[in-house]
Structure 1
Amino acid sequence: METALYIAFFIFGTIIGSFLNVLIYRLPRGRSPLKPAFSFCPECGKNIKWYDNIPVISYLILKGKCRNCGAKISLRYFVVELITGIASVLSYMKTGLSVEYIFIFIFLSLMIAITFIDLDFRIIPDELNLFGFLAGFVFIFFRKDFSLLDGILGAVVGAGFLWAVAFLYMRFRGIEGLGMGDVKMMAFVGVYTGWFGALFTIFVGSFLGALVGGLSAYLLKAEDKGRFEIPFGPFLAFASVVYIFFGETVKSWYLGGMM
């Protein structure tokens, strides 16, 4: 029975992953995620038949190519569906069959979409941040040890801290170091994780971003390593997901050690 549930949650996750691919492609291009309702090939523009749009499986059967024109389909579509399927299973493993599953899976799904959009376009759509922010507030009413004040404080600390960093960077260096999409994202993350989770996300995300950015600049031999640009959203997303699964343990360990 448990194995069957894992499979069911994985399949459900891949279906949501297929929709995330639509969001990832359309939102940064200013297109509606709902119209047209059908999927189409970006190269030839022809509609994709339902049997060629089965998450994960169709990509493997078609060997990553469009049936109509033979154009190569980005591996990203397969990866997003696969990761979202795994995220669904992990959400179920954390929460069991409960309302909490819905909100944890929403969080992970939005982080997946944010990551891939930010990687490709260096933006985080307001629609995703706003939806996550509102979902986080609704989630509060289903949580036992997390109050409305915790959510508000988390949003203020997360967005406020990152906004202050962006303001100071612009003030003293004269260039934009962070986009407002990252700031809004931290309001969304803070509503879910509280003030401690928001700070954890910022510091761990910053450490990982600095590490990867510095290494990338060195390997690519960027002329001005101080202005080598990498998207910050994926690192914040990764750190926030770590906190969602291990945050209570980290918080207890840290605050316990402070006493």
Structure 2
Amino acid sequence: MIIVVLLAGLLGLAVGSFLNVVVWRVPRGESVVSPPSACPRCGHRIRARHNVPVLGWLVLRGRCFDCGEPIAARYPLVEAGTGVAFALVTWFAGVSWVLPALLYLAAVSIALALIDLDCTRLPDPIVLPSYGVAAALLALAAWNLGGTAQWSALVHAAIGAAVMFVVYFVLLVVYPSGMGFGDVKLAGVLGLYLGYHGWASLVVGWFAAFLLGGLFSVALLVGGRAGRKTKVPFGPWMLLGAWVGIVLGDPIGSWYLSLI
């Protein structure tokens, strides 16, 4: 199992390198395939040997090989963070058919969280295809695992997506300054995953997003880093809340039921 987790971490490093491209280009409407990555100052293409995740940045000492322009530390941090995320998800899910679906969610979570923090946007080119990809990967897991419980989980996933979409849409209508339609569309994707993992995960994931986002906003207010009218991106908290629901939904649900 340790070897599998390490391999997943290496895969995450490579995916993280691609996510850096996605985070930079997608909000600008640029292709993530071409042209090849280049220094934004001098325009020289990044050489293959310098494009190795994390190591390339360390070898270059954080500067462009051609012009010496500083390369933000965020690039290797995203690569390393994605590697760690992939390793942790693999450790949590094990070698199972649901693992590809969770790894996809991990990659999308990192990309969307960073874009929302940078641009306060959740781009359709990432969110909308995620409905089909998530549904296909979860259906693949249910097909291979088999059993009535798995097919019921797919039905729960569909219900979860619908419920989350509707709830967030109602919140948007009632309080339009509190969130955007991108949050509504993302809610449906997260509802697929949370519903698949059970009703407890769905409730915990939904509640955790508002709890964590609210605590962060209060901390900003108390620290003088934001005012009452400051817009705080909610996408990252939706994503983090979903992961809380997936990982801790059942234990928290069981604990709550034991209290009552």
Same fold per TM (> 0.5)?
yes
Give runs of aligned pairs for residues 154-173 of structure 1, distance below 5 A. Answer: 154-170=160-176
Worse-matched range after superposition: 73-82 or 189-198 = 189-198
Q: Deviations over 1:162-184 (max 9, x none)?
A: 111111113xxxxx220111111
For structure 2, the residue ranges without an aligned partner over 5 or more in a row are 143-148
- Report the 3-state secondary structure (helix = DSSP H, G, I; strand = E; otherwise coil) of the residue aligned with 1:102: helix
> What CA RMSD, in Å, does the superposition of the two structures yield over aligned residues?
1.9
Aligned match of 1:173: none
C-alpha contact (below 8 Å) 1:197/1:247 kept by paired residues:
yes
- Whether 1:25 aligns to 2:31 is no
Stretches (4+) displaced over 6 A: none
| Inter-partner Cα distance in structure 1 for 2:56 and 2:204 | 39
Q: Deviations over 1:70-93 (max 9, x none)?
A: 111122211111111011111221
- The amino acid that maps onto 2:7 is A
C-alpha contact (below 8 Å) 1:155/1:187 kept by paired residues:
yes
The Cα of 1:124 is off from its aligned counterpart by: 0.5
Q: Deviations over 1:94-145 (max 9, x none)?
A: 2223332211100111001111000000001112212322222123322354
From 239, 242, 247, the equivalent of 1:240 is 242
| Inter-partner Cα distance in structure 2 for 1:242 and 1:45 | 42
Q: Deviations over 1:181-235 (max 9, x none)?
A: 111111000011115534433321112212211221332365xx32121110111
The Cα of 1:26 is off from its aligned counterpart by: 0.4
- Whether 1:80 aligns to 2:78 is yes
From 209, 213, 230, the equivalent of 1:209 is 213
| Inter-partner Cα distance in structure 2 for 1:78 and 1:213 | 28
The Cα of 1:42 is off from its aligned counterpart by: 2.1
- The amino acid that maps onto 2:30 is R
| Inter-partner Cα distance in structure 2 for 1:67 and 1:79 | 19
**Number of residue pairs the alignment of both structures matches:** 249
Give runs of aligned pairs for residues 148-159 of structure 1, distance below 5 A. Answer: 148-159=154-165
The Cα of 1:160 is off from its aligned counterpart by: 1.1
Query: CA 1:180–1:14 in structure 2 vs 1: closer, same or farther (change >3 Å)?
Result: same
For structure 1, the residue ranges without an aligned partner over 5 or more in a row are 171-175
Q: Deviations over 1:33-71 (max 9, x none)?
A: 1122x2112222211001100001111222221111111
